[in-house]
Amino acid sequence: MRVISGSARGMTLETIEGLETRPTTDRVKEALFSMIQNQIYGAVCLDLFSGSGALGIELISRGADQVVFCENNLKAKRIIDKNIEKAAFGEKARILSEDVYRFLETYRGEPFDVIVMDPPYLKGHVKKTLTQLERYNLLGESGIIVVEHDIEDAEALNHGTQFLLVKTKKYGKIGISIYRRQA
């Protein structure tokens, strides 16, 4: 796995061995970032269920001002630390070893411009996370939420709250859905 574009382009990223995380493939990552590129520069971002940190690192590499990484797996957090250090992105990254839902309940900063999330598939995390993001008003007025999910995950496509599903693309068994605030 590597950084696709930007200041860290081509850098190889470390991942956790085994099946504890499921890294986003380069093909899916490239498609995802081509859909949201205009939202990234200068953005304050949140990477939920961060895994290796690949999505958040790609955001920084492409011009995001800051990324908060939230991952409760300690092995994954150590991998994120290594990848951030290797990319020399320490000043733009804040890495939290915390449960996503606890973080969302307790965060008291400004809303985020871009939120990316790649939760474990088919376990109810998409709906629960979108509901929490809405409840705690964590998406900025012109912000977007990008969800990587299994294409069988109907809740990713039918959330039905203040977030409007604006685009869904399928890549094999993987879906990418993008949400904005409803007017």
**Domains recognised in the chain with CATH numbers:** 26-181 (3.40.50.150)
Residue 58, SS3 per DSSP: helix
Predicted pLDDT at 19: 46
Check residue 13 and report its DSSP letter. Answer: -
| Geometric angle at alpha carbon 34, from 110 and 36, rounded to 5° | 20
The per-residue b/e assignment along 54-86, b for 16 or more CB within 10 angstroms, e otherwise, is bbbbbbbbbebebbbbbbbbeebbebbbebbee
Q: Report pLDDT digits (tens) over 129-167.
A: 999 999 999 999 999 999 999 988 866 666 667 888 899
How many Cα atoms within 13 Å fall on the side-chain side of residue 76? 23
Least confident of 21-25, 108-112, 118-122, 138-142: 21-25
Closest by Cα among 32, 45, 23 to 5 = 32
* In contact, 46 and 93? CB cutoff 8 Å: no
